[in-house]
Amino acid sequence: MELHLKRGEELLGVLHRCQPDFPWFMCSFEAGEGFSQVKQFFDEELELLESDEIDQWESAYARINALGLKLVDTETNQLIDEFILHIRGTEAWFRY
């Protein structure tokens, strides 16, 4: 499975070789040019999640949701617009 991370029609990155690891899908991540505009949001939310600051994490993830991001399956064109996505460098994991 390969997914495009998009904001509107802008390609922010590509999630490659996504494999299920219930309840998550584990992927490699290739950032596109536009990812630099949203990277700080993912860095912040992951830092809060890893420090178990769940209330603050929920607020940080709400800011990510407000960006209107979507995942698009490149094979089926399936649109996924409700998901939780974490990105660390070239690794990504998500659930929907």
In angstroms, rounded to a whole number, what is the distance separating the alpha carbons of residues 77 and 45? 28
Question: Which percentage of the chain shows pLDDT scores above 90?
Answer: 99
Residue 41, pLDDT score: 98
42-68 tens-digit pLDDT: 999 999 999 999 999 999 999 999 999
Show Cβ contacts of residue 87 under 8 Å, excluding neighbours closer than 6 positions: 13, 29, 39, 42, 46
pTM for the full predicted model: 0.94
Q: How many domains does the chain have?
A: 1
| Domain housing 55 | 3-95
3-23 tens-digit pLDDT: 999 999 999 999 999 999 999
